[in-house]
Amino acid sequence: MELKSQNDTWKPRIVAFFCNWCTYTAADLAGVSRIKHEPNVRVIRVMCSGRVDPQFVIDAFVKGADGVLIGGCHIGDCHYIDGNHKTIRRFAMLKRILKDMGIEDERFRLEWISASEGEKVKTVTNDMVEKLEKLGPLGLPKKFIAWDEEMNHLELEISKPKEEIEHV
Amino acid sequence: MTSTKQNGEVRIGYFVCHCGHNIGATIDVLKVADVIKNLPGVVISREYKYMCSDPGQEMIQEDIKEHNLNRIVVAACSPLLHENTFRRATEKAGINQYYFHMVNIRENASWVHVDKAEATRKAIDLSRAAIQRVFFHQALEKKQVSINPNVLVVGGGISGIHAALTLAKAGKKVYLVERDPTIGGLMAKFDKTFPTLDCAACILTPKMTEVKNHPNIELMTYSEVEKVSGFVGQYKATIKRKPRYIKEDVCVGCLDCIDACIYKDGKYYDEFNVGLSKRKPVYIPFPQATPQLVVFDPEACVRLKRGKCKETCVEKCDRDAIDFDQKEKFEEIEIGSVIVATGFQIFDAKKIPYYGYGKYQNVYNALEIERLVNSSGPTGGQVVMRNGEVPKKIGIIHCVGSRDEKTNIWCSRVCCTYSVKLAHLLKELSGADVYNFYIDMRTPGKGQEEFYNQVMREGVHFIRGRVAEVTDWAAEKEEQGKLIIRVEDTLIGVVRRIPVDMVVLGVGVEPHSDADKIRRLFNISCSTEGFYLEKHPKLAPFDTASDGVYIAGGCQGPKDITDAVAQAGAAAAEALALIDKGFIEMEPNTAFISEDNCSGCKSCIPLCPYTAISFDEEVFKAKINEVLCKGCGTCVAACPSAAIDQNLFTNDQIYNEIDGLLKYEIV
Ligand code: FES
């Protein structure tokens, strides 16, 4: 098994936050039912989709995720009454912020997947992977390096002796 | 690490499981163990065939002692399955169980991926995330809360009755809530039960009476659960008591008022006889109804509809039990656990128009036949059709609304055997020639195949083929005035037309059309078809994802009486196990506020669904009541000053998981 192919064949990296009661259970069901799907999603289990701090999402993008997926119970089914209502509001707000940052719509997704919808875990995963493959890498960490270099360069320019600048 | 808030020197033991071939065949476990070995903090990294086995657990415990480990990560199956197993093992070796973390590489990886390199990479990523996470784990203690020993049973069919009696006999107080005026459910409508042909009423009614008379059971019929709050051990439920317009404690069930009603004959749809007879506005569902109380139908009673009537019933009642001013009442009860046994409904045969139900008067559904062959039914057990004739030839069609892509895809499990039973009863009572049309005969269970053979020997015909249509269009003289069943007999490969007098549709079972309402009240999930979802399909078919809420009978899936009773008993036993323990251990995943950081902005307060957060005006800080907090983490995600955190899911832990997942370069 050769694992060094990370960069030569790029594959989308998706960080997912699944609530314990519905979507995480659905993913388990997909497992038990051997519903094969794309291997790009890495799940972080939280008790409720309402636990997902908008900063988690931003952080995931910053650290190199190409997409972020939040999975929760259907509206009305949240184990904590209405945690997912709060998720919707945060989702809408985050969408706007991400748009302003130039992060494409398809990269951030919210899905209601109930404990019995193992099949939906597959459809959502595969669909998201397909869309991200079309978009290509987001690669924020690399961009940060490039931006840092640019900033350094600019700073260097500014710190040059005044005459030189005037000369230019 | 993105944060520096670590506690002491961290010594991690990492254990990855092959789970036989379940993981080992798809994930290169050796490789995973090898990569993880080199991560900071990891003291020991091992793989083993079956981590959850005794030797596997012992290995962890020995390693903890030998290598002085203080964090344990196991990569194996889902934490929902074995988290507790490994927590216990960790605790046994003398370190706090919450220093353990589980990585799911079976359900989340090896079982769902084909590409071995990708699955292995995923296992490494998930493990790395866990390794980074456990740096921030802390010792926690489980909280104990007391449990209210009272139980609410929803639904008074055979499952609910059996569960209630079991609990009551064990000395627990039970509230049995039934929305109909009587308990008994579907079973009360049956004449004989398969495969033994014992009389349903003879075995059910004694149980109904026992429920009525049991000092530990508070029977609430004609009532519905309106609202539920609280959590396992401490639920509160509001019960709506619909008015019967009868003083329950005064009425003795003499039924004189029914005779005295200004309607001399029944005029309204009789629910108990599924419309095969008519009842009066004041009625008792059936003679053995429990409780023995009459009900006034507000939609039908002239006095209730128009406010004016001769009130002959009131005149007749010498006990003064009738009270037309009764209003809906709401009662609040406190319970610690719940058994939901709300049953199922039968498929509406009108949805398959080519079988002619509702169009031809001599097409019946199976439940109507149950009433028709019942000695206490509308015809006193005579098989007389709606046109007044006794049928000479009867066709019973199986799988109506079952095993059909267009309606319900599941097998309803009871129709084959009840169709065989009805064939036997119809033949016995009317002497008719009976034909059964089946796709496959499914008669699993004790004594059922034997029963099928017996009925076949009695001369009932069985034709294999899905019926194409039921029509009254006669092709030949002898078909005139008959219902013709068109079917391909697949055993001889011939399309046949079989003229009969009566058609019986073996309708399937499905979830109640309003099953969703109860499901939401108790926070139960449902499967795609709408039946309530059990915690585990094999090992916990009576348990749900909501702690302290159990399910039994037809609401969980199609079932015969035998299985419904068995499941009800199991659910009751589970509830007893919970109650008799005396207390419940809660996951310590509550949220807490760091006072120093709280700015007093109050944004968290309205977010809490349990009103666990209050505001201390004096110090101008928010406070979380640990007892009320259920650990959803919504407030944590919302705090603008990051002053709130959640045990077991701290910000540090999650940020480090994210970081670990995305550090591909290490590979
Ligand atoms: S528990 Fe699933 S969204 Fe709240």
A157: confidence class by pLDDT, cuts 50, 70, 90: confident
Average pLDDT of A56-79?
A: 95
Q: Which residue of A has its CA nearest to B664?
A: A6
Does residue B642 share a domain with residue B542? no
Q: β-pairing, B295-296 with B282-283?
A: antiparallel
A73 lines ligand 1 (CB under 6 A): yes
- Cβ–Cβ gap B667/A3 under 8 Å: yes
The answer, for A156 touching chain B at a CB cutoff of 8 Å, is no
The answer, for B439 touching chain A at a CB cutoff of 8 Å, is no
Q: What was the pLDDT predicted at B525?
A: 87
Contacts of B125 in chain A (CB under 8 A): 42
Does residue B498 share a domain with residue B403? yes
Q: Which residue of B has its CA nearest to A56?
A: B655
Does residue B238 share a domain with residue B336? yes
* Domain spans, chain A: 12-137
Q: Quick: pLDDT tens for B69-116.
A: 999 999 999 999 999 999 999 999 999 999 999 999 999 999 999 999
The answer, for B231 touching chain A at a CB cutoff of 8 Å, is no
A–B CB contacts, 8 A cutoff, strictly below: 159
Average pLDDT of A82-103?
A: 95
Does residue B238 share a domain with residue B191? yes
What is the distance between the alpha carbons of residues B486 and B467, in angstroms, rounded to a whole number?
Answer: 6
Percent of chain B with pLDDT over 70: 98
Q: How far is CA B194 from CA B51, B82, B417, in A?
A: 46, 41, 7
Average pLDDT of A71-79?
A: 93
Of A42, A48, A122, the CB nearest to B125: A42
B123: confidence class by pLDDT, cuts 50, 70, 90: very high
Of B125, B533, B632, the CB nearest to A115: B533
pLDDT of residue A4 exceeding 60: no
pLDDT of residue B666 exceeding 50: no
Q: What was the pLDDT predicted at B572?
A: 98
Q: How far is CA B561 from CA A148, B183, B296, B573, in A?
A: 72, 15, 31, 18
Q: Which residue of A has its CA nearest to B610?
A: A80
Q: What is the DSSP string of B534-564?
A: PSBTTTBTTB-SSTTEEE-GGGTS---HHHH
- The interface residues of chain B toward chain A in range 66-85, judged by CB-CB distance below 8 A, are 78-81
The answer to whether B649 and A51 have CB atoms below 8 angstroms apart is yes
**DSSP strands (E only) in B414-529:** 433-438, 461-464, 467-471, 483-489, 494-500, 502-507, 509-511
Q: Which residue of B has its CA nearest to A89?
A: B638
Q: Quick: pLDDT tens for B507-548.
A: 999 999 999 999 989 988 888 889 999 988 888 999 998 889
pLDDT of residue B2 exceeding 50: no
Query: The domain spanning residue B420 has which CATH number?
Result: 3.50.50.60
A94 lines ligand 1 (CB under 6 A): no
Q: Say which residues have a Cβ less than 8 Å from residue A96's Cβ, sequence separation at least 6.
A: none
First to last CA, chain A: 57
Ligand 1 atom showing the smallest separation from residue A49 Cα: 3
CATH fit for domain A12-137, picks 1.10.3720.10, 3.40.50.960, 3.30.70.1450, 3.90.1150.10: 3.40.50.960
Q: Quick: pLDDT tens for B158-189.
A: 999 999 999 999 999 999 999 999 999 999 99
Does residue B355 share a domain with residue B374? yes
Average pLDDT of A16-30?
A: 95
Q: What was the pLDDT predicted at B116?
A: 96
The answer, for B525 touching chain A at a CB cutoff of 8 Å, is yes
- Rounded to 10 deg, the angle between the B651-662 and A54-62 helix axes is 30
The secondary element (H helix, E strand) that includes residue B225 is strand B223-231
Average pLDDT of B422-427?
A: 97
- The interface residues of chain A toward chain B in range 116-155, judged by CB-CB distance below 8 A, are 116-117, 122
**Residue B427 within a domain:** yes
Q: What was the pLDDT predicted at A166?
A: 56
The secondary element (H helix, E strand) that includes residue B643 is none
Does residue B267 share a domain with residue B383? no
Percent of chain B with pLDDT over 90: 92
Average pLDDT of A35-50?
A: 97
Q: Quick: pLDDT tens for B572-621.
A: 999 999 999 999 988 999 999 999 999 999 999 999 988 899 999 999 99
Domain boundary among B493, B510, B527: B510
What is the distance between the alpha carbons of residues B247 and B483, in angstroms, rounded to a whole number?
Answer: 50
Query: And the tokens for B396?
Result: 């019973």
Q: β-pairing, B549-551 with B337-340?
A: parallel
Does residue B339 share a domain with residue B273? no
Residue range of the domain that includes B302 = 256-316
Q: What was the pLDDT predicted at A163?
A: 61
Of the two residues A125 and B8, the one the predictor is more confident about is: A125
What is the distance between the alpha carbons of residues B248 and B327, in angstroms, rounded to a whole number?
Answer: 13
The answer to whether B162 and B206 have CB atoms below 8 angstroms apart is no
Q: What was the pLDDT predicted at A85?
A: 96
pLDDT of residue A168 exceeding 80: no
What is the distance between the alpha carbons of residues B55 and B51, in angstroms, rounded to a whole number?
Answer: 8
Domain boundary among B458, B477, B510: B510
Q: Which residue of B has its CA nearest to A68?
A: B658
- Cβ–Cβ gap B633/A1 under 8 Å: no
Query: The domain spanning residue B611 has which CATH number?
Result: 3.30.70.20
Q: β-pairing, A14-19 with A67-72?
A: parallel
Q: List the strands of the sheet with B100-104, edge to edge.
A: B42-48, B12-17, B71-76, B100-104
Q: Quick: pLDDT tens for B342-359.
A: 999 999 999 999 999 999
Average pLDDT score over chain A: 90
Q: Quick: pLDDT tens for B281-304.
A: 999 999 999 999 999 999 999 999
Does residue B133 share a domain with residue B150? no
Q: Is B314 helix (H, G, I), strand (E, B) or coil?
A: helix
The answer, for B192 touching chain A at a CB cutoff of 8 Å, is no
Domain boundary among B460, B491, B510: B510
Q: Quick: pLDDT tens for B192-245.
A: 999 999 999 999 999 999 999 999 999 999 999 999 988 899 999 999 999 999
Does residue B566 share a domain with residue B485? no
The answer to whether B16 and B102 have CB atoms below 8 angstroms apart is no
Q: Is B151 helix (H, G, I), strand (E, B) or coil?
A: strand
Contacts of A21 in chain B (CB under 8 A): 525, 545
pLDDT of residue A160 exceeding 80: no
**Residue B5 within a domain:** no
A50 lines ligand 1 (CB under 6 A): yes
B8: confidence class by pLDDT, cuts 50, 70, 90: confident
Query: The domain spanning residue B75 has which CATH number?
Result: 3.40.50
pLDDT of residue A30 exceeding 80: yes
Does residue B480 share a domain with residue B393? yes
H-helix segments, B373-497: 415-430, 448-457
A79 lines ligand 1 (CB under 6 A): yes
Does residue B383 share a domain with residue B288? no
The answer, for A8 touching chain B at a CB cutoff of 8 Å, is no
Task: Burial-class residue B277 by CB neighbours within 10 Å (0-12, 13-18, 19+).
Answer: middle
Ligand 1 atom showing the smallest separation from residue A23 Cα: 2
Q: Quick: pLDDT tens for B426-465.
A: 999 999 999 999 999 999 999 999 999 999 999 999 999 9
Does residue B441 share a domain with residue B386? yes
Q: What was the pLDDT predicted at B627?
A: 83
H-helix segments, B296-374: 302-306, 312-316, 366-372
**Residue B120 within a domain:** yes
- Beta carbons within 10 angstroms of residue A69's beta carbon: 25
Which of A60, A68, A71, A69 shows the shortest CA–CA distance to A28?
A71
A19 lines ligand 1 (CB under 6 A): yes
Q: What was the pLDDT predicted at A6?
A: 46
Average pLDDT score over chain B: 94
What is the distance between the alpha carbons of residues B512 and B530, in angstroms, rounded to a whole number?
Answer: 8
Q: Which of B28, B525, B659 to mutate to test the interface with A (most CBs of A within 10 A)?
A: B525
The answer, for A104 touching chain B at a CB cutoff of 8 Å, is no
Number of domains in chain B: 5
Tell me the pTM: 0.85
